[in-house]
Chain A
Amino acid sequence: MNRDIFKIDKKILKSRLIVGTGKYKSLNETAQAIKSSGADMVTVAVRRVNISDKRKPLLMDYVNPKKINYLPNTAGCFNSNDALRTLRLAREIGGWKMVKLEILGDKKTLYPDMIETLKTTKVLVKEGFKVLVYCTDDPLHAKKLEDIGASAIMPLAAPIGSGLGIHNKLNISLIIKQSKVPVIIDAGIGTASDATIAMEMGCDGVLINSAIALAKKPVQMAEAFKYAVISGRKSFLSGRMKKNNIASASSPEKDLIS
């Protein structure tokens, strides 16, 4: 059997589950959840250092960037300039070239602004960034992103933080079919089975934050997602049986005792 390798650009990841590091109760919980999720890539945000509170714990003290790949994200950016500024600063912190671009267009739905996103992806690719792009589940935009050099396409399953699961399976499957770069579901997954469904459909990976961080037991939910993603992937690779509209007995019908 061929080894099933998950590769984004030239980076090989052990896990097809990428996790966010926001919304946890503490940095300790964040670290524990990442550990039990088995993820080796996590998204992180770029924010101002608090200069008046010098003892504030740092994410880097809990999640070692030498062991876990940091994927700087532009969450909270609503235009190209802010996103570019954020990612250029992120790169300066430690040479991070692989980044997640997310430009939001509307505060209520947190829906991605695809015009700004396409424009910004072009600039980032030119500057040597490897860009994983949060996008709408529109196959046309997904194709355009791939054509201009995105390293991965990250369509939403449902609005960020909504936990509603995949809402447009048709679009997601069209994107999977046409894409030569990895397709990673980003946003909207609510529970482990949603992740399994995404993986069974043929997604290359999923990115989960709220569904783990906001569970009653985040560390345990992280483990649930680990297995959900492995399970969905294996199921996809195994090729499911055909659907039938009539029953077909599982035991032989010959040699019954009566």
Chain B
Amino acid sequence: MAKIQINGKKVAIKQNFSILEMLKKYKINRKKVAIELNGKILPQNQYNKKKLNNNDIIEIVQFIGGG
């Protein structure tokens, strides 16, 4: 297992999980979010390629109601 942090929460995921697999696990629609991996925006076309490693810090954001 790899220990990573998603949106401030510590979670453990399978080794070699891709970003896309992680999104699937959490039932998140990739078209409705943006992802930051270790402080850098990860372009959508890299979700499949990019594997998650121990200690990675991920931010997943979406649009919500606001002024």
Contacts and interface: CB of A to CB of B under 8 A. Distances in A.
A45 B7 contact: no
Contacts of A59: 62-65
Contact of B66 (A44, A49, A93, A187): A44
Contacts of B31: 94
Contacts of A65: 63
A51 B65 contact: no
Contacts of B44: 92
Contacts of B8: 48
B66 A22 contact: yes
9 contacts: A20-B65, A23-B67, A45-B65, A46-B63, A51-B26, A75-B67, A89-B61, A92-B34, A93-B61
In this complex, the interface size class of chain A, counting residues with CB under 8 Å from chain B, is 35 or more
Interface residues of B, number: 27
A43 B67 contact: yes
Contacts of B9: 51-52
A27 to B, nearest CB: 7
A59 B44 CA distance: 20
Interface of B: 6-9, 11, 26-29, 31-36, 41, 43-44, 59-67
Contact of B63 (A54, A85, A93, A161): A93
A58 B41 CA distance: 22
Contacts of A22: 65-67
Interface of A: 20-24, 27, 30, 43-52, 54, 58-60, 65, 70, 72-73, 75-76, 85, 88-90, 92-94, 160-161, 187, 209-210
Contact of A90 (B6, B27, B29, B34): B34
A124 to B, nearest CB: 15
Most chain A CB neighbours (cut-off 10 Å) among B29, B35, B41, B61: B61
B7 A23 contact: no
Contacts of A58: 29, 32, 62-63
A73 B32 contact: no
A167 B63 CA distance: 32
Contacts of A46: 34, 61-64
Most chain A CB neighbours (cut-off 10 Å) among B8, B9, B66: B66
Nearest to A89: B34
B24 to A, nearest CB: 11
A96 to B, nearest CB: 9
Nearest to B58: A51
Given A50-B7, A52-B9, 8 more contacts: A20-B65, A43-B66, A48-B61, A51-B9, A59-B63, A85-B36, A89-B61, A209-B67
A48 B28 CA distance: 12
Nearest to B27: A54
Nearest to B11: A51
